[in-house]
């Protein structure tokens, strides 16, 4: 979690005992005030004002349970004598500038009677509207303290109406958008799945503040995302005075936390952006920040790849893989990724009912081992990557036979399998060591492995940690800590290998995991039409260089449609190209070349969502580079018969003072069209006319935009 040593390196700026604590970004202000009663109040949260005049509408900053706050508290503690209350009083605040120029504000609160200490931490970033906050709760006494509530963040909003935009889903249907007005009372979005934080419900959301929900470009809205890979809880509660209180953090369900004498709990980070210009601006701010400060190698180029899962499942041999590698090379991608099914000695992994845990090569399938595959890839001038599911164990495995006590499993109850597998007890340090050694040994034996896909195909149900014995309340939190511990060790030793975060599709996608992973697998559903919606959902929170998008044989749309959809994320393939016609091969090779030529624009550019697939019969989005001299436009025609369709697309993000040229690329067996010239003003205000005759259901178009050449 947080490294206290970094503080020592910081430049100390001030230690004020003042009354106002102001945290600002270029467009936002978050102001705290200390009341006469010495408690801390959030006085203002919203847009920054040039005149510095802010309304003062107070709500207790980190409201406690058991005293006078009548709603869901941010924190509730039960002391050794049974007193179930906290009264937090302001002590001091400190502001630091860290070596990377981020600014940290720590606000110290203290219970004068029971001595519990709470520090609210905030990080702001130069030029960015993103704020990160987390909380440290310390027990300096000699007795245990029981925490039943321990949020990362509490924020208050004052408006007439509030709208929640939430994202839900399931396997093959991730990140589906729902938006509704919040009514009085509490709305909770949570997860109790322990190992997966993005299945069913996502820890990412928007709160719009105003008469209407914010649109892409209009309205005040806060984007929030909890950086945590396990059980989470997001509470949105409208009180009797129509104030909205939000508490965001680890789910306290079955997880009351005992803070032992002299111990501290550091909560996960909550990341948020307040925008006065709709969701688009909030997303762009978050993407920028994520690439620069949070995502592993967020500003580095990504590898295009060919994965074998959809092509072969677990049925392959060396010859088949060699064929696929040759195809990958001919296609022009950078890497071949070997998926599930390569391992198991006593129990070869031919189906999903065995072998997880036995990470030794299946010699029957691959007699010459992984090193031979790495060499074959090299001969084909591509890199080699491999799939692992290290947190899991099959009951039919040698690992299970040796270590039945390493499994999360309830005593005296029937075993509950999902996909025929169980979850390892990551609370156990021995299991953590084992997990580390699985990956470490693989790299030691094959130092040229250039990519890892880290899967996680089930949730924890019927969970019980044999290691934690009578401390089961710690299981959910310890699991996630164990996972991070392993990932930290791996990243310390292997800092440069790209890792894909996968969880039976997008079952685990969050910003804490993305500190260790370069990208994620959004969904096993690669049907081009479904992906328009799924990738749209993720695009609100994650930049394109993290969203792996592969062309597969799912979906009835044309290869062009599926390719154009995949090209708006991080392009890959998961399909047997041997079945492609020559035309399909030519088209795909050309698409890969186009992607590589335009990868920086897609992966690092600013995203503008133009037309939502939820609102009409088209989806359209653009990437624009920082200089606003290059852009790429994707348009997808969907399958709704009656819905409105526009032939005039208002572009966004371009410079109205510049002139541009546009051509269509990625055309089916055709050269790009000739460049057409437009002024920036025209494209932004009149729009760009799409050729009506060429538009059909489930068709798509990609347009390249560049600055017009001056004559
Ligand atoms: C689920 C993943 O989402 C798929 O891409 C594939 O890796 C399978 N697991 C393999 O078991």
Indicate the SS3 state at residue 612. coil
CA of 340 to the centre of ligand 1 (A): 7
Of the chain, the percentage scoring pLDDT greater than 90 comes to 94
CA of 439 to the centre of ligand 1 (A): 18
Which pLDDT belongs to residue 711? 54
Sign of the alpha-carbon dihedral angle for 349, 352, 355, 361: positive
3-state secondary structure 32-90: EEECCCCCEEEEEEEECCCCCCCCCCCEECCCECCCCCCCCCCEEEECCCCCCCCCCEE
CA of 266 to the centre of ligand 1 (A): 33
In 106-241, which ranges are continuous DSSP H helix?
A: none
d(CA 555, CA 588): 17
Helix (H) or strand (E) run with residue 274 in it: strand 269-275
Please give the DSSP secondary-structure letter assigned to residue 522.
-
d(CA 247, CA 151): 6
CA of 339 to the centre of ligand 1 (A): 7
Residue 521 alpha carbon, nearest atom of ligand 1: 3
d(CA 489, CA 56): 46
Encode pLDDT of 234-247 as tens digits: 999 999 999 999 99
Q: Tell how strand 89-97 and strand 75-78 pair up.
A: unpaired
Residue nearest to ligand 1 atom 5, measured at CA = 524
Which pLDDT belongs to residue 690? 87
| For residues 160-165, average pLDDT | 98
CA of 545 to the centre of ligand 1 (A): 20
Encode pLDDT of 391-413 as tens digits: 999 999 999 999 999 999 999 99
- Written as six digits, the tokens of 456 are 């996680």
CA distances to 271, 477, 534, 698, 701 from 24, rounded to whole Å, are 14, 32, 33, 45, 41
Which pLDDT belongs to residue 12? 39
Residue 350 is among the residues annotated as catalytic for this protein: no
CB 257 within 8 A of CB 78: no
Pocket of ligand 1 (CB under 6 A): 309, 339-340, 387, 455, 457, 502, 504-505, 521, 524
Encode pLDDT of 505-534 as tens digits: 999 999 999 999 999 999 999 999 999 999
Of the residues 171, 195, 309, 419, which should be mutated to test ligand 1's pocket, given the most ligand atoms within 8 Å of the CB?
Answer: 309
Residue 339 alpha carbon, nearest atom of ligand 1: 7
User: Model pTM?
Assistant: 0.97
Q: What is the CA radius of gyration of the chain?
A: 26
Nearest one of 466, 296, 498, 486 to 390, comparing CA atoms: 486
CA of 358 to the centre of ligand 1 (A): 17
| For residues 427-446, average pLDDT | 98
Residue 309 alpha carbon, nearest atom of ligand 1: 6
Q: How many CB atoms lie within 10 A of CB 642?
A: 6
Residue tagged 């592993």 (tokens): 296
- Written as six digits, the tokens of 267 are 């909560």
Residue 352 alpha carbon, nearest atom of ligand 1: 11
Residue nearest to ligand 1 atom 9, measured at CA = 504
Residue 455 is among the residues annotated as catalytic for this protein: yes
d(CA 681, CA 677): 12
Residue nearest to ligand 1 atom 11, measured at CA = 340
Question: CB-based contacts of 628: which residues, under 8 Å, 6+ apart?
Answer: 653, 654, 655, 658
């Amino acid at each position: 979690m947080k490294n206290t040593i970094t503080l020592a390196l910081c430049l100390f700026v001030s230690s004020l005992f003042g009354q106002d604590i102001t945290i600002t970004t270029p467009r936002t202000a978050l102001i705290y005030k200390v009341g006469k009663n010495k408690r801390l109040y959030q006085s203002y949260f919203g847009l920054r004002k040039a005149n510095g005049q802010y309304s003062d509408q107070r709500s207790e900053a980190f409201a406690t349970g058991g005293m006078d706050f009548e709603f869901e508290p941010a924190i509730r503690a039960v002391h050794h004598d049974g007193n179930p209350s906290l009264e937090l009083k302001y002590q001091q605040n400190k502001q630091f500038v860290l070596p990377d120029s981020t600014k940290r504000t720590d606000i110290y609160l203290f219970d004068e009677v029971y001595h519990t200490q709470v520090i609210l931490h905030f990080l702001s970033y130069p030029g960015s509207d993103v704020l990160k906050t987390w909380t440290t709760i310390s027990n300096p006494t000699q007795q245990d303290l029981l925490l039943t509530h321990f949020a990362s963040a509490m924020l208050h909003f004052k408006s007439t109406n509030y709208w929640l935009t939430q994202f839900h889903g399931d396997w093959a249907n991730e990140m589906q958008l729902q938006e509704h007005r919040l009514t009085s009372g509490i709305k909770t979005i949570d997860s109790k799945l322990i190992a997966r934080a993005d299945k069913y419900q996502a820890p990412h959301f928007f709160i719009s503040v105003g008469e209407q929900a914010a649109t892409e470009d209009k309205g005040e809205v806060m984007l929030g995302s909890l950086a945590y890979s396990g059980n989470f809880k997001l509470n949105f509660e409208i009180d009797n005075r129509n104030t909205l209180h939000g508490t965001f953090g680890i789910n306290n369900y079955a997880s009351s936390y005992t803070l032992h004498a002299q111990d501290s709990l550091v909560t996960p980070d909550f990341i948020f952006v307040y925008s006065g210009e709709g969701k688009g601006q909030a997303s762009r701010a978050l993407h920028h920040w994520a690439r620069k400060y949070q995502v592993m190698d967020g500003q580095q180029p990504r590898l295009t790849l060919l994965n074998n899962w959809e092509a072969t499942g677990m049925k392959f041999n060396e010859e088949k893989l060699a064929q696929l590698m040759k195809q990958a090379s001919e296609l022009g991608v950078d890497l071949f990724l070997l998926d599930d099914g390569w391992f198991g000695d006593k129990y070869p992994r031919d189906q999903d009912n065995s072998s997880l845990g036995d990470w030794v090569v299946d010699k029957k399938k691959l007699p010459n081992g992984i090193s031979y595959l790495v060499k074959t890839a090299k001969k084909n001038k591509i890199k080699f990557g491999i799939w692992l599911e290290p947190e899991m164990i099959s009951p039919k495995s040698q690992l299970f036979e040796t270590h039945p006590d390493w499994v999360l499993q309830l005593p005296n109850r029937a075993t509950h399998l999902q996909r025929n597998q169980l979850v390892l007890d990551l609370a156990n340090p021995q299991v953590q060591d084992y997990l580390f050694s699985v990956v470490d040994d693989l790299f030691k034996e094959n130092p040229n492995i250039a990519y890892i896909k880290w899967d996680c195909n089930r949730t924890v149900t019927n969970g019980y940690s044999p290691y934690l014995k009578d401390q089961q309340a710690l299981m959910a939190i310890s699991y996630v800590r164990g996972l991070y511990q392993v990932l930290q060790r791996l990243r310390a030793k292997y800092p440069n290998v790209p890792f894909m975060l996968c969880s039976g599709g997008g079952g685990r996608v969050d910003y804490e995991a993305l500190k260790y992973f370069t990208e994620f697998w959004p969904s096993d559903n690669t049907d081009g039409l479904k992906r328009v919606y799924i990738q749209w959902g993720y695009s609100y929170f994650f930049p394109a260089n993290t969203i792996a998008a592969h062309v597969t044989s799912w979906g009835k749309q044309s290869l062009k449609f599926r390719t154009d959809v995949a090209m708006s994320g991080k392009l890959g393939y998961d399909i047997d190209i041997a079945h492609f016609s020559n035309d399909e091969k030519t088209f795909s090779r050309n698409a890969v070349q186009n992607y590589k030529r335009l990868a920086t624009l897609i992966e690092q550019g600013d995203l503008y969502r133009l037309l939502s697939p939820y609102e009409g019969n088209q989806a359209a989005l653009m990437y624009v580079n920082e200089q606003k001299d290059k852009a790429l436009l994707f348009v997808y025609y969907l399958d709704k018969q009656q819905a409105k369709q526009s032939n005039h697309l208002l572009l966004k993000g371009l410079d109205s003072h510049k002139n541009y040229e546009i051509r269509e690329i990625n055309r089916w067996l055709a050269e790009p069209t000739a460049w057409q010239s437009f002024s920036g003003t025209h494209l932004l205000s009149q729009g760009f006319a799409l050729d009506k005759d060429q538009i059909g259901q489930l068709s798509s178009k990609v347009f390249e935009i560049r600055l017009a050449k001056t004559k």
